[in-house]
Amino acid sequence: MRSVTYSMNVSLDGYIVGPDGGFDWTGPDEEVFRSWIDEIRGVGVHLLGRRLYETMLYWETADRDPSLDDSKLEWTALWKSLPKVVFSTTLTAVEGRARLASGGLAQEIERLRAEPGEGDIAIGGATLAAEAAASGLIDEYRARVYPVLVGGGVPFFPRRERRVDLDLVETRTFSSNVVHLRYRVARRAAS
């Protein structure tokens, strides 16, 4: 069965964007960017909320930018070819290999898990991930933790009063002191 993964850059105090909506603290770091390229290779389909979809639209045409280096061009090619499902109540059309979701998140994930296909089902965007987490649909959390405290904003983890046990799968520290943490949701049998 395909795993559902939630992966984002996050500040040490737990936010994916700061109180001003900015995420400039995630600044360009080639080593961290390469890890995103490696990760996207394992994704079969990406689920996005409207805001993240609109942010990521840049990559649909980024290959036209003559100033992009090889790693950014590689990311662009991978991103453009990746099927995407966008969850929005306001958009009427999407671009590239994206389509608007035809049902709810749980139904979409169930359908994607039942289809033959390779790669993870990745979720991007805090609001969409919070909905998936509340329904127990996320199998793995991946956070690239930046050494900065932003003091507020949009949290990486949904604020639910529900305990979720996690098993550490991987940790990696980059030369920039960014730490990649990968946790699998512990699905322990009832005793």
For residue 162, what pLDDT is reported?
80
pTM (global) more than 0.85: yes
Domain ranges of the chain: 4-185
What are the C-alpha distances in Å from 187 to residues 138, 141, 167?
A: 11, 14, 9
Tokens 């799968």 locate to 169
Annotate 105-141 with b (16+ C-beta within 10 A) or e (fewer). beebbeebeeeeeebbbbbbbbebbbbbbeeebbbbb
Fold of 4-185: Dihydrofolate Reductase, subunit A (3.40.430)
pLDDT tens across the length of the chain (191 residues): 899 999 999 999 999 999 998 989 998 789 999 999 999 999 999 999 999 999 999 999 999 999 999 999 999 999 999 999 999 999 999 999 999 998 899 999 999 999 888 999 999 988 999 999 999 999 999 999 999 999 999 999 877 778 899 999 999 999 999 999 999 999 766 55
DSSP state of 62: G
For residue 190, what pLDDT is reported?
57
Q: Radius of gyration of the chain from Cα atoms? A: 16
For residue 189, what pLDDT is reported?
62
